[in-house]
């Protein structure tokens, strides 16, 4: 592994939290992700299922976890199945976990080879009334094709045991994954630190004439050099008007003198993700107008971190609306919105947010959960919770003026005071200009 060994205590505690939520006389089954295939015989890099990793720490394909909390035999309450290796596999694919190593990683004492899974499942199914199955219930999932190993197993299991009671695992897992432990926060912080070094490298590299993909390469070099798998998500390196395309991915244009460069790019570490956005002047100096818009966005960032992010607050109904009202004030000050129009809109509490005037310049959400997934699971009741990790990413987009500005930091929400995991990454305009000048 590129990353340092994670204490198995993390995964043991995660399983304990889930076991307390499982129904009586039940078994739960989770599968590893699959290796994604390209055309012909090519495959992509393996990335583990977030749910399985959260409960086991095993970063290997063809892995299965069975939980049976009420079983009288302690060795049957947690069973981890891993792929048995061979000389052939070792030559072609490399090392696979031994049973002892799987125990060391996961903290699960009962480890079996994958071939033993089906007979053990048949035994446990006879002894329990309820089967709890996993499914991707992420609120933002919109994949047109989603027929994973979990999906195939669910169909197979329900066909084989049609008379059992079936329950959904996702709501239980989502609820416990939201609050981050100190081990998890440490891993996210490491990803943020790697991202910080990548950004520092970029401040020394960017100048007029540099291509967006050259900047992408500089980030990737730094991330991999420090033990990251690479990008936490597809990087957005958007110069000039490209910044006004929210999911710009071409990264193939030249950075022009006098323009701005929006970079939404961050590293992962040990399957945990960071998420950073910075906007910098290509020539190292903001124009007066660019600086005015930049400072407006930064004030919203500070407001969110210092005042608005509070455990127990409703994310959409309260937080996003509070940010929107503050953004309206900033847009009025920038002479982008008419104060009278905004005043009339504020009188209409039933007017949907997407129909308000500010949405022309700020059309996306302010925060999302962060963790094992870049858009991590979120409480079903939609409120911030203690030790939840979220982003703060307001922006103002001005295609008529040829630039857009977005800023983003990663925050741990706490009633005692929020923790900014990216507080050490330059964000003040003066500091960015000074660092670029020094380079």
Chunked in runs of 10, what are the mean pLDDT values of the chain (439 residues)? 91 97 96 88 90 97 96 96 93 94 98 97 96 87 69 93 96 95 98 98 98 98 96 98 97 98 98 98 98 98 98 95 98 98 96 96 97 92 94 98 98 98 98 95
Q: Which CATH superfamily is domain 8-177 in?
A: Creatinase/prolidase N-terminal domain (3.40.350.10)
Beta-bridge mates of residue 409: 392
What global pTM score does this model have? 0.96
Break the chain into its structural domains and give their ranges. 8-177, 182-438
> Helix/strand/coil (H, E, C) string of the chain?
CCCCCCCHHHHHHHHHHHHCCCCCCEEEEEECCCCCECCCCCECCCCCCHHHHHHHCCCCCCCEEEECCCCCCHHHCEEEEECCCCHHHHHHCCCCCCHHHHHHHHCCCCEEEHHHHHHHHHHHHHHCCEEEECCCCCCCCCCCCCCCHHHHHHHHHHHHCCCCEEEECHHHHHHHHCECCHHHHHHHHHHHHHHHHHHHHHHHHCCCCCEHHHHHHHHHHHHHHCCCCCECCCCEEEEHHHHHCCCCCCCCCECCCCCEEEEECCEEECCEECCCEEEEECCCCCCHHHHHHHHHHHHHHHHHHHHHCCCCCEHHHHHHHHHHHHHHHHHHHCCCCCHHHHHHHHHCCCCCHHHCHHHHCCCCCCCCECCCCCCCCCCCCCECCCCEEEEECCEEEEHHHCEEEECEEEEECCCCCCEECCCCCCCCHHHHHHHHHHC
pLDDT given at position 225? 96
Q: Quote the tokens at residue 189.
A: 């912080």
Phi, psi of 19 (to 5 degrees): -60, -35
Q: Which CATH architecture has domain 182-438?
A: Alpha-Beta Complex (3.90)
pLDDT given at position 38? 85
Start-to-end C-alpha separation, the chain? 34
The set of catalytic residues is 41, 247, 264, 275, 364, 368, 375, 393, 397, 406, 408
Query: Pairing between strand 130-133 and 26-31?
Result: parallel
* CA gap 63, 101 in Å, rounded: 13
pLDDT given at position 420? 98
pLDDT given at position 142? 64
pLDDT given at position 135? 87
**H-helix segments, 182-276:** 182-205, 212-225
């Amino acid at each position: 592994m590129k990353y340092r060994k994670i204490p198995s205590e993390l995964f043991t505690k995660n399983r304990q939290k889930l076991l307390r939520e499982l129904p009586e006389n039940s078994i739960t089954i989770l599968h590893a992700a699959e290796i994604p295939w390209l055309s012909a015989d090519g495959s992509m890099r393996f990335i583990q299922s977030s749910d399985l990793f959260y409960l086991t720490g095993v970063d290997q394909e063809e892995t299965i976890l069975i939980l049976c909390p009420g079983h009288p035999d302690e060795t049957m309450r947690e069973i981890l199945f891993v792929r048995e290796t061979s000389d052939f596999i070792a030559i072609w694919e490399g090392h696979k976990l031994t049973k002892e190593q799987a125990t060391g990683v996961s903290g699960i004492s009962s480890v079996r080879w994958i071939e033993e899974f089906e007979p053990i499942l048949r035994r446990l199914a006879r002894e329990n009334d309820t089967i709890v199955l996993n499914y991707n219930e992420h609120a933002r999932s919109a994949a047109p094709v989603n027929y994973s190993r979990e999906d195939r197993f669910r169909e197979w299991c329900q066909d084989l045991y049609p008379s059992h009671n079936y329950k959904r695992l996702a709501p239980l897992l989502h609820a416990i994954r939201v609050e981050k432990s100190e081990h998890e926060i440490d891993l996210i912080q490491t990803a943020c630190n790697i991202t910080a070094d990548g950004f520092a490298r970029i401040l020394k590299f960017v100048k007029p004439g540099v291509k967006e993909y050259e900047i992408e390469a500089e980030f990737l070099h730094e991330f991999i050099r420090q033990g990251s798998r690479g990008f936490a998500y597809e990087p957005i390196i958007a110069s000039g008007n490209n910044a006004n395309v929210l999911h710009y991915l071409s990264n193939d244009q030249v950075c022009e003198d006098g323009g701005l460069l929006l970079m939404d790019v961050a590293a992962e570490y040990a399957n945990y993700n960071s998420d950073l956005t910075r906007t910098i002047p290509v020539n190292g100096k903001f124009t007066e107008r660019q600086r005015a818009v930049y400072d407006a966005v930064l004030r919203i960032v500070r407001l969110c971190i210092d005042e608005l992010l509070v455990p127990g607050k409703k994310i959409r109904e309260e937080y996003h609306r509070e940010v929107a009202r503050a953004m309206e004030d900033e847009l009025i000050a920038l002479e982008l919105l008419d104060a009278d129009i905004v005043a009339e809109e504020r009188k209409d509490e039933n007017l949907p947010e997407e129909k308000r005037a500010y949405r022309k310049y700020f059309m996306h959400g302010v925060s999302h959960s962060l963790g094992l997934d870049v858009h991590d699971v979120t409480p079903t009741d939609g409120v911030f919770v203690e030790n939840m990790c979220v982003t703060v990413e307001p922006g103002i987009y001005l295609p008529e003026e040829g630039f857009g500005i977005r800023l983003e930091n990663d925050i741990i929400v706490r009633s005692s005071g929020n923790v900014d995991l990216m507080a050490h990454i330059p964000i003040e305009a003066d500091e960015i200009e000074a660092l670029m000048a020094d380079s």
